[in-house]
Amino acid sequence: MPEPKAKKATFIQPMLLLPTATLPEGRTWSYELKLDGYRALAVKTAGKIRLRSRNDKNFNLRYPGVVRGLANMPDETVVDGEVVALDESGRPSFNMLQNFGSATAPVFYYVFDLLVLAGRAVMEEPLSVRRKLLECDVLPYLTEPVRHSPVLDAALSDLIESVRTHGLEGLVAKRLDSRYEPGQRSGAWQKMRVNRQQAFVVGGYTPGPHGFDALIFGYYDECDLIYAGRTRSGFPPHFGSAKWPVHQ
């Protein structure tokens, strides 16, 4: 039989994670840290690296160090990962990532999946197979600041406690036999927040008799600013006694 025609590497919609309050347990599931950063796909085609956001925006100029670390990746290859800034304690900091350029936090690209390898689509292969291919045929060619996002080999209860103790965001569970489903949130990949917190930004205000009456809050989802809510109770002259309820 003739050899299958090589696939030209191009951007692929990333597979999405299903939010959940509890993660599944069992031998068919594996666990990783939930990294608080920007999802990004790295595509190498015709000898050139293209680092793309989840919404297919260009990250090359924003993270040139990551692009250099991917330079020796096999041609016509696509990997999936997360761009993350680490604080002085080595914890992911989304705030520092948003302010990259004005802040001094180091930025890394944590790779966790393989979609296309040297022109061969592997998205129909089980996750366990894709991980082995990633470890053997791609990771040896990558350099800092590109890193592997490892599987966590411990009981789920111990992982949750460790994440809580170290102030990390949460955990991700992935079914070992799952195929890669572009743009889908099927539940084969799930995410759970352990330390429930969210950084908000003030996006605007409504005027009032003392300057302003309510603040408009939002949060960043990658590069998009999403409306979260607003205060409605107003602000007294002394902010120390104010209560700021946010209504969704």
Strands 107-117 and 146-148: parallel
Going by the DSSP 8-state scheme, the letter that residue 124 receives in this structure is T
**Is the dihedral angle over the CA atoms 215, 100, 184, 191 positive or is it negative?**
negative
Tell me the pTM.
0.79
34 noted as active-site residue: yes
Per-residue pLDDT of 4-54, as tens digits, reads: 567 799 999 999 999 999 999 999 999 999 999 999 999 999 999 999 999
CA distance 207 to 205: 6
Per-residue pLDDT of 100-113, as tens digits, reads: 765 678 999 999 99
> Could you tell me the end-to-end alpha-carbon distance of the chain, in angstroms, rounded to an integer?
59
3-class DSSP assignment, residue 18: strand
Q: What was the pLDDT predicted at 241?
A: 38
3-class DSSP assignment, residue 44: strand
pLDDT, average across residues 135-143: 98
CA distance 118 to 115: 10
User: Rg of the Cα trace of the chain?
Assistant: 21
Instruction: List, in order, residues 6 or more apart from 181 with CB less than 8 Å away.
Output: 15, 123, 188
All structural domains of the chain, each given as residue ranges with its CATH number in brackets, are 18-193 (3.30.470.30), 201-241 (no CATH)
Q: What was the pLDDT predicted at 139?
A: 98
Per-residue pLDDT of 172-216, as tens digits, reads: 999 999 999 999 999 999 999 998 555 566 777 777 666 666 777
CA distance 236 to 117: 60
Torsion angles phi and psi, residue 64, rounded to 5: -65, -30
CA distance 231 to 246: 5
Residue of 34, 44, 174, 191 with catalytic role: 34
Q: What is the 3-state secondary structure of 70-81? A: CCCCCCCEEEEE
